[in-house]
Structure 1
Amino acid sequence: MIAIAIDDEPIALDVVKSHAAKVPFIELKETFTNAFDALTYLQKNKTDLLFLDIKMPDISGIDFLSSIANPPMVIFTTAYSEHAVKSFELDAIDYLLKPFSLPRFLKACNKAYELHELRSKSAGAPEMASIFIKDGYEQIKVKLDEILFIEAAGNYTKIYLQGDSTLSTRITITDMLLMLPAKKFIRTHRAFIVARNKISRFDRSQININEHSIPIGATYDVFRSLSS
């Protein structure tokens, strides 16, 4: 995987460089102390993974990530623990609290590698008309055209179907998104995925599907995607 690292502290970047050099599937291409230089790089170069500090002088790592339309996978690296919840709302792969050890760094990289492999396989697979969802001990076949929207609800993910029926599964909403064709489904919020062709109306804050109102998260550029 091709990676870059952004941190305003050169010593912190040296730690990432040292650890990354020991991980065989990570190729750390560049490091940046200036987030805006990194943004220019990301606009021109394929990048799979971003090691990103949160507390930076000109722009926070969270604001930086929110500004990217199609960001790479991200692992936050920070000395502050209070941003953990917000980072996972942005679908961060992991959150490394400085100073972090090589084993902890490797664990985060392994998470990224597993997701990268899953996405690669999904991208190469032919588009399917249905998927199988595990519900308890059963595998239930669900036609994609019957899905209205999907909601993360605690330890479960709920799938809302035509005819007012629902399914519950322990598959995470992030993994559900990987199972679904991007042409037909869009993530609108950290807790919601919707079927594009089931949307009856939308504005900048919410989407309506039948009688359901589904929020649009502040970090999801849904309005522009649906309007184009």
Structure 2
Amino acid sequence: MTLTAIAIDDEPQALDVIRLHAARVSFLDLKATFTDAFEAIAWLQSHKVDLLFLDIKMPDISGIDVVKSLSRVPMIIFTTAYSTYAVEGFNLDAIDYLLKPFPLTRFLKACNKALEHKAVRNSTEPAFLFLKTGYDEEKVLLEDILYIEADGNYLTFVLKTRKLLSRQTMTELQQLLPADQFVRVHRSYLIAIHKIDKIGRQELTVAGKSIPIGASYDESVATIRARIAQR
């Protein structure tokens, strides 16, 4: 199994370290490196990778805000010289947090965690999920999901015949759902592509529900159109 990745850091020397370390990790394919976070964001709109090595404190936009801006979020490994950002980083469901300067052994450990996460995710993309609802876990068939609405750290799963409330983030959920079937179209909404009834300029309709398209999610709609065209 291979991990594809890119790295974003405003310090060229930091990227040099990542490139050197990445060359020593046999299963890691580092596709590109960026000192300009906005160039990386634009690149990610048309390219998909498994993993993002991301500095947090950058001059024009923080790594935290980079993650929040992405419609499709890869696995994240934060790379920073500031340990004070660790809690916020893990609140975004980061795979790991590398404190500069980090040796190859620590870099490899983080990569192995990402590889294990990808393997688990690939093996847990069946036709169902178990959702934690209060003290219980309920089995939900993917084919029954119409759309998911986020409210803070809670998600409402709107199914064919009922609704379920589960405590998890949208980012956590995106890592579990197959990307060819579910797409995030707004910071608060993730929809089942095959349940879409209508695609408008600024909204989608799913089971009679009008769902807004976020200003930064045009690429998601393009993805939806492409997936529908392939069917």
Query: Could you tell me the TM-score, scaled by structure 1's length?
Result: 0.67
| Counterparts of 2:164 and 2:224, CA distance in 1 | 26
The verdict on how the C-alpha distance between 1:170 and 1:52 changes in structure 2, with shifts beyond 3 A counting, is farther
Amino acid at match of 1:118: V
Residue 4 of structure 2 corresponds to residue 15 of structure 1:
no
Partner of 2:52: 74
Partner of 1:43: none
The verdict on how the C-alpha distance between 1:70 and 1:29 changes in structure 2, with shifts beyond 3 A counting, is closer
Stretches of structure 1 lacking an aligned partner (at least 5 in a row)? 31-37, 39-50
Amino acid at match of 2:52: V
Deviation of the 1:208 alpha carbon: 1.4
Partner of 1:33: none
- Partner deviation per Cα, 1:77-130 (whole Å, 9 max, x = no partner): 3651642343112225144335823178668646633432233324xx6x42x3
Partner of 2:212: 215
Amino acid at match of 2:79: L
Stretches of structure 2 lacking an aligned partner (at least 5 in a row)? 82-98
Higher relative contact order (CA 8 A, sep 6+): 2
Pick the aligned partner of 1:146 from 141, 144, 147.
144
Partner of 1:101: 101
| Counterparts of 1:64 and 1:191, CA distance in 2 | 23
Whether contact under 8 Å (1:54, 1:78) holds in the other structure is: no
Amino acid at match of 2:35: D
| Counterparts of 1:170 and 1:107, CA distance in 2 | 29
Q: Where do 1:1-228 residues align within 5 Å?
A: 1-3=3-5, 5=7, 10-20=12-22, 27=28, 38=32, 52-55=34-37, 60-66=39-45, 68-77=46-55, 79-80=57-58, 82-89=61-68, 90=70, 91=73, 93-97=76-80, 100-102=100-102, 109=111, 112-122=114-124, 127-128=126-127, 130-163=128-161, 165-217=162-214, 218-219=216-217, 221-227=219-225, 228=229
Whether contact under 8 Å (2:5, 2:53) holds in the other structure is: no
| RMSD across aligned positions (CA) | 3.5
The verdict on how the C-alpha distance between 1:204 and 1:223 changes in structure 2, with shifts beyond 3 A counting, is farther
The verdict on how the C-alpha distance between 1:13 and 1:146 changes in structure 2, with shifts beyond 3 A counting, is closer
- Partner deviation per Cα, 1:113-163 (whole Å, 9 max, x = no partner): 3432233324xx6x42x3321111111122333221012221122211234
Q: How many residues align?
A: 199
The verdict on how the C-alpha distance between 1:109 and 1:118 changes in structure 2, with shifts beyond 3 A counting, is same
Query: Could you tell me the TM-score, scaled by structure 2's length?
Result: 0.66
Partner of 1:34: none
